[in-house]
Amino acid sequence: MEKTGILYLCATPIGNLGDVSARFLEVFRSVDIIAAEDTRQTIKIMNHFDIHKPLTSYHEHNKRQKGEYLCSLMLSGKSVALVSDAGTPAISDPGEDLVRMCIEKGIEVTSIPGPAALINALILSGLSTKRFSFEGFLSVNKRHRAEHLNQLKSDTHTLIFYEAPHKLPYTLDDMLKVFGDRRIALARELTKLHEEVKRTTLAEAAEFYKTEKPRGEYVIVVEGASECSEPENPWEGVEIKEHVDKYVSGGMSVKDAIKQAAADRGMPKREVYAVYHDV
Ligand code: SAM
């Protein structure tokens, strides 16, 4: 019986050709065919490293029939290298469908690890890397987008999003509305000449991009909910009168007790006065 082939998931640079690994080159030179999300990007790598292999496209719009074709090649013993337009295949691209198809058909799948924009953005962000959640691209559909953000509102993990530059200002505004102000990192053009990590807050970034045009590719890293939540207020649930009387019974004048209670609760003095004196 013929030996089944194999699918290699090959990570490609996210901007710097120097990030191509020795194993990547070995695999690219040995496989029977290379399947690429964007053949124009992949040709650049092949030309640079003088690699001559059959190249075919595999993308969102042909993934079903091309996936079947690639699987038939692998079932007949051929080996296939899959690459996305940049970074790790199967992350925010149709590679995950081909992986599933191979698993269903009993075809071996292995990976040649390398760059992934989300991991580089996370480790450069300065935010917690202990627990994080990759959220990919937000939907362009307003309702789905709002639902997605609302689901994440109290998530304590560091949140990572991909975004296209022209949508960045709207996304920052939407995030600010739902999450409130939080620390964020905007990682731009990673591994490229103009690499930049802006460590700022959602409010500041939303303001900045009202006038500044975003340029290049961005990853948005947002601080999780717990890290920026307000410390618990020990006076929560205590009536205003009881609150003021606690200070009065401790020896304070009523005037000073009202002033202190107002400060504790972050309320104007006159409001505390009005409640205390029933006016
Ligand atoms: N599979 C890829 C990966 O592993 O990162 C991601 C593909 S996704 C279609 C493309 C998105 O990744 C971009 O819109 C941007 O958010 C992010 N991205 C890719 N390269 C980047 C870079 N050099 N700097 C910042 N973000 C990048």
pLDDT of residue 228: 47
Give the model's confidence band at 99: pLDDT under 50 very low, under 70 low, under 90 confident, else very high.
Answer: very high
Report CA(218)–ligand 1 centroid distance (Å): 7
| Range 140-144 contact pairs with CB under 8 angstroms and sequence separation of 24 or more | 140/167
* 1 in any annotated domain: no
* 208 in any annotated domain: yes
- Indicate the top mutation candidate among 19, 82, 120, 162 to test ligand 1's pocket, ranked by most ligand atoms within 8 A of CB: 162
Per-residue pLDDT tens over the stretch 68-90: 999 999 999 999 999 999 999 99
Question: Mean pLDDT lowest for which of 66-70, 149-153, 221-225, 259-263?
Answer: 259-263
Report CA(117)–ligand 1 centroid distance (Å): 5
Find the radius of gyration of the CA atoms of the chain: 27
- If asked whether residues 82 and 127 sit together in one domain, one would say no
Average pLDDT, the chain: 94
- If asked whether residues 103 and 24 sit together in one domain, one would say yes
Give the model's confidence band at 91: pLDDT under 50 very low, under 70 low, under 90 confident, else very high.
Answer: very high
- HSE-up (13 A, CA, CB side) for residue 146: 3
- If asked whether residues 104 and 140 sit together in one domain, one would say no
Q: List the CATH number of the domain containing 206.
A: 3.30.950.10
Minimal-distance CA residue to ligand 1 atom 19: 117
- If asked whether residues 40 and 101 sit together in one domain, one would say yes
Mean pLDDT of the region 16-25: 97
**What residue numbers bound the domain in which 272 lies?**
240-276
**Among the three residues 65, 85, 115, which one is the final residue of a domain in this structure?**
115
Is residue 185 scored above 90 in pLDDT? yes
Number of domains in the chain: 3
- If asked whether residues 133 and 215 sit together in one domain, one would say yes
218 CB near ligand 1 (under 6 Å)? yes
Give the model's confidence band at 190: pLDDT under 50 very low, under 70 low, under 90 confident, else very high.
Answer: very high
- If asked whether residues 124 and 223 sit together in one domain, one would say yes
- If asked whether residues 81 and 103 sit together in one domain, one would say yes
pLDDT of residue 261: 83
